[in-house]
Amino acid sequence: MPVNQKIKVAVDGVVFGYTSKDGLLILLIKRDVTPFKGDWALPGGLVLDEESLEDAIYRELKEETGVQINYLEQLYSFGKPGRDPRNRVVSITYYGLVKPDGLMLNAGTDAGDARWFNVKNMPELAFDHRDIVSVALKRLQSKIVYEPIGFELLDEKFPFSELEKLYMAVLDRPIDRRNFKKKVSKFGFLIETNEKQALETAGRPGNLFCFDQEKYFQLKKDGINFEI
């Protein structure tokens, strides 16, 4: 039976960031073309005939936000008919983690603006992008209980409280801080330095920590279970 297929393939990127001040963030672009011109959306676009899916998402992120990300992981495929009013479009989505501090956002091509938003205070999103963000956030929340995160989102040296705040921001709930520190410390991917935390208020400064990169990425590869 002949198949009359006119499906286009796109890629979309869910880029999460984190700062102690702003919490868990997501990178969005303001569309400068129809449909949904002027609305916020995930960075992304159609895959060119000559490029791979991975090349396409890295290109779209660079063109629309100016951001280059070292690692993205494929998330899910979204292909419900009618999700794009122009054509039947299947989107292969990716998600990744970056430190927003120091990144220069530079909107281009189909984007009129690029900006970080707290995941709890996002604007209305074009297409089905809110559904995509919801799936990505659930994936991230389920993943951090069996795989360490932090290296991609925290400074090179940080107080342990920052790692706790990061996990609470991602999980969107409190954690048992004493048990959390005990569980994380036993895996050996944190190194306590002799440097002290700079305090803006009176109090006893704690030591700063850093990641043992080799141990960290080996555990990340092998998979562990925090049972947070």
Domains identified in the chain and CATH numbers: 8-143 (3.90.79.10), 158-222 (1.10.10.10)
Backbone φ and ψ of 13, nearest 5°: -120, 130
The three-class DSSP label of residue 33 is coil
Token pair for 27: 């990178």
Is residue 134 within 8 Å of 78, Cβ to Cβ? no
Tokens 């659930």 correspond to what residue?
A: 138
Q: List strand residue ranges (DSSP E) for the chain, in order.
A: 8-19, 23-31, 40-41, 44-46, 73-78, 89-98, 111-118, 158-159, 190-196, 207-211
The three-class DSSP label of residue 80 is coil
Token pair for 118: 């707290």
Query: 0.85 exceeded by the pTM?
Result: yes
Which pLDDT value is given to residue 63? 96
Q: Which of 68, 88, 70 is nearest to 10 (CA)?
A: 88
Where b means 16+ CB within 10 Å and e means fewer, 90-120 reads ebbbbbbbbebeebebebeebbeebebbebe
Vertex 133: Cα angle to 27 and 173 (nearest 5): 95
Q: What is the DSSP letter of 74?
A: E
Question: pLDDT per position in the chain (228 positions), as tens?
Answer: 778 888 999 999 999 999 999 999 999 999 999 999 999 999 999 999 999 999 999 999 999 999 998 789 999 999 999 999 999 999 999 999 999 987 899 999 889 999 999 999 999 999 999 999 999 999 999 988 888 888 889 999 999 999 999 999 999 999 999 899 998 888 899 999 999 887 655 557 789 999 998 988 888 888 887 777
Backbone φ and ψ of 140, nearest 5°: -65, -45
Backbone φ and ψ of 6, nearest 5°: -130, 45
The three-class DSSP label of residue 65 is helix
